[in-house]
Amino acid sequence: MPQNHPLLLFREHLTPLKHFSARDLEQRLREADIPDLILLDVREPWEFDICAIPDSVLIPMGKISQHLDSLDKDAEIVVICHHGIRSRSIARYMEQQGFRNMINLSGGVEAWAREVDIDMPTY
């Protein structure tokens, strides 16, 4: 692929996406007197009804573009899904829309249930 290929040029402008493990998120939430993170869950409502990280806000992946104006572009936003795949995709999309502090929860609610809240229902 030539050095000036558009895909290579685009990739150069991407900054590495920040990731939290479930333990990282737990520690960050415990350290803050008033948590300054927005916990954005992008799963479907039926998934959210089964289990959710406390204080997370549900905006399903397919509706995120309709709700961008309701979110603070300067806030730290942790994006959450089942395993961390959809959330990574949405975090990247939101960066492209001008959001500056996106964080992906690696392993998603599955990791949270396994490592932090072992009583949380899983699916």
Let me know: does 67 contact 59? Beta carbons within 8 Å. Answer: yes
Q: Tell which wins on pLDDT, 92 or 16.
A: 92
| pLDDT score of 55 more than 60 | yes
- Alpha carbons 39 and 54: distance in angstroms, whole number: 9
What is the structure's pLDDT at 13?
52
- The CATH architecture to which 18-115 belongs is 3-Layer(aba) Sandwich (3.40)
In sequence order, what are the beta bridge partners of 102?
77
Instruction: Report the relative pairing of strands 57-58 and 101-105 from DSSP bridges.
Output: unpaired
- Alpha carbons 80 and 62: distance in angstroms, whole number: 14
| pLDDT score of 34 more than 90 | no
Annotated active-site residue in 39, 51, 80, 81: 81
Domain boundary assignment for the chain? 18-115
Let me know: does 7 contact 1? Beta carbons within 8 Å. Answer: yes
| pLDDT score of 4 more than 60 | no
Q: Tell which wins on pLDDT, 12 or 33.
A: 33
Let me know: does 18 contact 29? Beta carbons within 8 Å. Answer: no
81 is an active site residue? yes
